[in-house]
Structure 1
Amino acid sequence: MIWTPLHAKIHRTIKSRHLFQHHERLLVAVSGGQDSLCLIKLLLDLQSQWSWYLAIAHCDHCWRDDSQANAHHVENLAKNWGINFYLETAKEPINSEATARNWRYQALNAIAQQDNYQYIVTGHTASDRAETLLYNLMRGTGADGLQALTWQRPLSEKVIVIRPLLEITRQQTGQFCHDFQLPIWEDSTNQNVRYARNRIRQELIPYLQTNFNPKVESALAQTAELLQADVEYLEQAAQHLREKAMIGSGDELKLNRQVLQPAPLALQRRVMRQILIEILPDAPNFEHIEKLTALIIAPNRSQTDPFPGGAIAQVQDNWIIIKEKSL
């Protein structure tokens, strides 16, 4: 095996960030593109040092004419490498980025739980992290959205998604595949600028590299990394404040305004966001959070109009009462 600087970097990353332990069962999501091929090659080369059990999973969205050939290509790679292969095929074509992502993670989670894989490993890179930051920034978001691609996140109670390549750019994965002559499957949809992420990748990032910073991808990825640590700290502090301020559960919650009022606005907003995530049918937006936060200092008997799903919050002396369904 040829030990490259990229092998050494990923080996150190896995070790220092405690992404995996020895003898773990890893299900590697492989599309056939350069990032996922780089990932599986690195993990296979490191396998002897870590004693992992590796398998490949491929999700066929059926949104391209060549998607079945793509799946066969990945299956043949798995056979050549002598590792298990799983294929999940959509029952009907999926043509929305968000729908495809949700379906893909559901499919991977089902495979992992069925055959006892503790981790699903994906080939997201620093380039993906930069694109996600820009995408969410333009849609409107807080620090949580700007650091959305994290090193690991729970997918279900027993399965964790791990992203070991978040410090590696797409240029580096492409060079690695070229050096090792890995057979990249070119996905034609990656060139389709009808998708917002492709426009960011094909048009916005190159513009920023040319006119502002040649290393803009790495700079944005580093920003996301810094924000991740900030978000983790703030979420823990907000959870502690929430536990001090809140009583009740189910259809009616009570928040003590005297506990919340001295807290910084950032923590007040996070407490309200945490509560709304559990109450609302969809993720709360900025207006929802601000509407609830305003009650911390609002006059007695103030109340909100109904949130999506019918919940209403009202002020009763020192308390904010949140009733999940309007009477």
Structure 2
Amino acid sequence: MAWTPLHVKTHRTIRSRHLFERNQHLLVAVSGGQDSLCLIKILLDLQPKWGWYVSIAHCDHRWRPDSQANAQHIENLAKNWGISFYLETVETQEREAIQTEAAAREWRYKVLSKIAQQHNYQYVVTGHTASDRAETLIYNLIRGTGADGLQALTWRRPLVDGIMLVRPLLEITRTETGQFCEDFQLPIWEDSTNQDLKYARNRIRQELLPYLCENFNPKVESALAQTAELLQAEVEYLEKAAQELREEAMSKEEDAEKGKHGDAVNLSTILSVSECQSVPVSSFSLPLKLNRHVLQKAPLALQRRVMRQVLQQILPISPSFEQIEKLTALITAPNKSQTDPFPGGATARVESDWIWIRGYL
């Protein structure tokens, strides 16, 4: 079969971004919509070139009366293509817990990870597109977020140990996947919930993006997706620089401080940065301290990232902008300045050249 421009584009993306290795096992999440059908068709067509073992997984939330028929439709496609099919259906007792988009997404990734682990797949592959990336950027911007939220939907990220989540279509728009499905007569199963305007993402997709496209930029989806791509590289750089600054600030100990307040926990001497981020909060102890002189030399952007990283390790919930600002302000605050308690009971206080964080986790 002759490759289309989408085949060529996806092949080049996979190769240039090192998304997959050859001869790997790929578990492709297929909902039945145009994006996931486009994805599975392209991967199957590229399979002889790469030597992959490709299979389909479908997650049934049981949100719609036709969900079982949808699952059967996808299983029939898998049989026609001669590939393995895995189905996960939400249990009755779980249905109440996954009524929001965020909860449903978390459930999907959990069950996809389980399938991949049980059947030795190295990759879970999803059909997120440039259009999804644009919607996510707008959605997070409206809710209020920094660069990290705006660059969401990355090409690759770890799901669980040994399994990578990959999104090969992030440079392809929904218009392109729709045309691809039409050209190859792929049987799309329309999801009625995608038309329900009670969901914010559907309002962005159905109302806001078409308005922006008509009145501001006909290629707004691609432009926003490119912005997310630029932000991704910048966020990775800033996060690494902040980790290095945090390690330096936590390792600058003075002899006069030793023994004065007990043994301060220096996380950078216990674990590597990557290990710190994956260890449960309960594994850390307070107090811990940060050298203000080290932090004062850094730009505000890095100061905030250091404080966010610290709060991510000691708080039971994700830190808010206000909490990060509260801790960042201590870098230049007068001696003896102190915060009110953070969630979980920890407080931060300036003592000479140091910010001490004490309390309970």
TM tier, smaller = over 0.9
> C-alpha displacement at 1:309, in angstroms?
1.9
Deviation digits for residues 227-271 of structure 1 (CA, Å, limit 9, x no counterpart): 011001101101110111115242221111111111000000011
Shift of residue 313, structure 1, vs aligned partner: 1.2
The gaps in structure 2 that reach 5 residues or longer are 252-264, 268-283
Q: Secondary structure at the match of 2:124?
A: strand
Residue 234, structure 1, aligned to residue 238, structure 2: yes
Pairing of 1:89-104 with structure 2 (within 5 A)? 89-92=89-92, 93=95, 94-104=98-108
Runs of 4+ in 1 over 4 A off after TM superposition: none
1:194 aligns with 2:198: yes
Deviation, structure 1 residue 136: 0.2
What amino acid sits opposite 1:139 in the alignment? R
The answer as to 2:6 corresponding to 1:6 is: yes
14-23 vs 302-311, which deviates more? 302-311
Aligned to 1:260: 295
Alignment partner, residue 24 of structure 1: 24
Note the alpha carbon deviations across 1:264-297, whole angstroms, 9 max, x for none: 0000001111111122222111101101111111
Following superposition of structure 1 onto structure 2, how do residues 46-125 of structure 1 map, counting pairs within 5 Å? Answer: 46-92=46-92, 93=95, 94-125=98-129
RMSD, matched Cα: 1.0
Note the 1:262-301 alignment, pairs <5 A. 262-301=297-336
Please identify, of 119-128 and 312-321, the stretch whose mean Cα deviation from structure 2 is larger: 312-321
Contact 1:251 1:324 in 2 (8 A): no
- Alpha-carbon distance in structure 1 between the residues aligned to 2:244 and 2:354: 18
User: Which TM-score applies when normalising by structure 1?
Assistant: 0.98
Identity of aligned residues (%): 74
**Higher Rg:** 2
Instruction: Give the stretch that moved more between structures: 300-309 or 206-215.
Output: 300-309
Aligned partners of 1:32 and 1:74 also within 8 Å: yes
Distance of 1:318 and 1:218 partners within structure 2: 48
Letter in 1 for 2:112: L
| Aligned-partner Cα distance in 1 for 2:195–2:175 | 16
Greater alpha carbon shift after TM alignment, 166-175 vs 278-287: 278-287
3-state SS of paired residue (1:63): coil
CA contact (8 A) 1:279 1:324 kept: no
One-letter amino acid of the counterpart of residue 8, structure 2 = A
Residue correspondence of structure 1 range 172-187 to structure 2 within 5 A: 172-187=176-191
Shift in CA distance, 85/324, structure 1 to aligned 2, threshold 3 Å: farther
State the TM-score, normalized to the length of structure 2: 0.89
Whole-angstrom distance in 1 between the partners of 2:86 and 2:346? 43
Instruction: For 1:195, give the aligned amino acid.
Output: Y
Q: 2: CA distance between counterparts of 1:303 and 1:110?
A: 45
Decide whether the 8 Å contact of 1:304 with 1:314 is kept in 2: yes
The Cα of 1:2 is off from its aligned counterpart by 2.7
Aligned residue runs from structure 1 range 303-322, under 5 A:
303-322=338-357
Q: Give the count of matched residue pairs.
A: 326
| Structure 1, gaps ≥5 residues long | none
Distance 1:282 1:65 in 2: 36
